[in-house]
Structure 1
């Protein structure tokens, strides 16, 4: 062979080897269990759909836990072409949301929520806007009496109306959804300064709109829209949601306009008053505007949706659990009689003398796990547990996986109040109890929700015993949930039998 031919052959071999090396390197970083930039491992992604075929859209929480058995507590999924990091279990979620909270502080771009709020409000804003509106909201809630005697009295007054409503059924069956009205009214008292009669047409319309939006947010095709927003013209749920949100905002705008006519620097009777007062202050200054009309509406809408849905759904679960487990209901009622008797209205302070009742309430929240997860987004390039997560990556901390973590709970898949009791029957708080999330993005209304649930639950069991409707037994009651944005119980009816 001629020298030049030998050299050419050698050169060709080197080129071929270099190409093969590049292909192997590309394959290594794109192969199953690997991701570029050393992101957490995960299942191989299919073209276009990514890993959506591995998820039960109606039970994402179960899918996340199942996949963690193979890929560990921190892994990467592909929602279409988008990479998403999932955190499963108490330790991983706690480390991300507490130890590295500043790095996991942002919200990701989710098409349906962007179309609803456009980056405004308390839940879906980021940066200075979020910090300002969150700080204002917490301060405003404190000023309005959240967690203090003033708000406690409002809840006790609402309990009176709730008992009247239940008594009107005279022991006959009525739907669990009837319990939505009382927690919603507490939210409206905070927002608007006043409650609604349960039969008020505006109130009924409001409840209907919230219910429809939360139901539509759990529709499987909405997940398809969020993964492939460019297919929106073919899909229906997001269009219905936006129409219902428009109707809800139209009602809110009426209250905002009325409040604008009466807002005063000397008194603040509601959250709307506080927002509008800050708006007036901004108009007099040269500072960056945060309290503009769109952000005011979005902030009120966030509290309407969150404050109504989570607490109201928890109350439905609580009544269902008492129907399902009558022996637990009896033990709660016995403790109520020992501490309160049959007439004294419960106070939040009573929880300190009612360990079993408090344990039951906590177990209702743990077992029902009303909010499955609320996505975060990395604010900066992040190193987490030996992996690299680029800035802007969606991160899903699975709250359900914490509330059902087998390393934290003795019988995670059973309703068991003993999870919160020691051997002597004393109440024991648990670090893995995270129904309100944790870190700086936790629920802004947590203290109010805790007070509401305790006073309503104790006040109802003081007056009534809840039983399955005629023709059903405790064994017939199914504790699986209805698909929605939250985990809702099945739409059962109940009978409230007055206590003798």
Structure 2
């Protein structure tokens, strides 16, 4: 991701990369707390939460400061008519053509959204996927067998295999539905409108309840059951549903969607190809409920990992 967005390829132990991880983890941790939600949705609480509000400001300054430092470096090193090296170069080129639309101020938010959409949410989706695999070993075995048929034993899955592995894709899709990593999405009404008989003035903040759509029994028979086959047709082809919205919908769909989908398939299929995941002997079944936070994540759980020979 750093390579794609910022043009920086880090070793995991690199000091600057560890700074990136620390800054991002700080953002997700503080945004997911109850105090942050009170600040957002209960304005009357703000005079009593000034210290927490300052923490948010400090975390933002650290994260955005890092991103804008990379942008500034790109601006200084930019050479006209040269091939773009990464996302920042592409954006800067567009900003020269349409400066009123592609502003430098907006770039830091775009970069932040891209990182958020393909890190925290992706990691939590993978955690839930592993949780569902240990709780549904029959599904895990089907995913593994599909991978072996398509990929074989000489390599790991690649993106070109994705269309040939519908059951694996359906398993990821069902994970996104059942886990609902982003259970609610805040939006702002841009015009006066009416919805279900309610008047919504322009400028009103609204929250879309994605969780309710993903768990609606009118749309999904036995919605709490993990069942990838519900996304397969009679020809065993995966069929997408307009009622599965892990990245939102419309013009404000998550900018990191394409990148996150690539990551999810590559990581999940590679794990299922090489390893078998089980509950450790004698351990109680982990909770399937999400832990509270800005995005949904499973409570900590342990798995036994066995490598296929």
The question of a shared fold, defined as TM-score above 0.5 by the shorter chain, is answered with yes
* Structure 1 position 220 matched with structure 2 position 29: no
* Structure 1 position 239 matched with structure 2 position 50: no
Match of 1:304 among 109, 115, 137: 115
**Alignment check: 8 A CA contact 1:342 1:463 kept:** no
250-259 or 454-463: bigger deviation = 250-259
* Structure 1 position 481 matched with structure 2 position 290: yes
Instruction: Determine the C-alpha separation between the residues in 1 that align with 2:101 and 2:161.
Output: 40
Q: How does 1:50-69 map to 2 (within 5 A)?
A: none
Match of residue 333 from structure 1: 144
Instruction: Determine the C-alpha separation between the residues in 2 that align with 1:202 and 1:325.
Output: 39
Query: TM-score, with normalisation over the residues of structure 2?
Result: 0.90
* Structure 1 position 274 matched with structure 2 position 90: yes
Alignment coverage as a number of residue pairs: 307
CA shift in 2, pair 1:237/1:372, >3 Å? farther
Residue 292 of structure 1: how far off its partner (Å): 4.3
Instruction: Determine the C-alpha separation between the residues in 1 that align with 2:205 and 2:75.
Output: 38
Query: TM-score, with normalisation over the residues of structure 1?
Result: 0.57
CA shift in 2, pair 1:202/1:466, >3 Å? farther
Corresponding residue SS for 1:375: strand
**Alignment check: 8 A CA contact 2:117 2:260 kept:** no
Name stretches of at least 5 consecutive residues in structure 1 with no aligned partner.
1-186
Match of 2:71 among 235, 241, 256: 256
CA shift in 2, pair 1:221/1:331, >3 Å? same
**Alignment check: 8 A CA contact 1:214 1:485 kept:** yes
Q: How does 1:8-87 map to 2 (within 5 A)?
A: none
Residue 288 of structure 1: how far off its partner (Å): 6.1
- CA radius of gyration, larger in: 1
CA shift in 2, pair 1:413/1:256, >3 Å? same
Q: How does 1:246-395 map to 2 (within 5 A)?
A: 246-264=61-79, 265-279=81-95, 281=96, 289-395=100-206
Name stretches of at least 5 consecutive residues in structure 2 with no aligned partner.
none
- CA RMSD across the alignment: 2.3
Match of residue 491 from structure 1: 300
Corresponding residue SS for 2:119: helix
CA displacement, residues 139-165 of structure 1 (integer Å, 9 cap, x when unaligned)? xxxxxxxxxxxxxxxxxxxxxxxxxxx
Residue 423 of structure 1: how far off its partner (Å): 5.0
Match of residue 242 from structure 2: 431
CA shift in 2, pair 1:494/1:231, >3 Å? same
CA shift in 2, pair 1:359/1:291, >3 Å? closer
CA displacement, residues 166-218 of structure 1 (integer Å, 9 cap, x when unaligned)? xxxxxxxxxxxxxxxxxxxxx32221124322222222232232223212222
Instruction: Determine the C-alpha separation between the residues in 2 that align with 1:459 and 1:288.
Output: 42
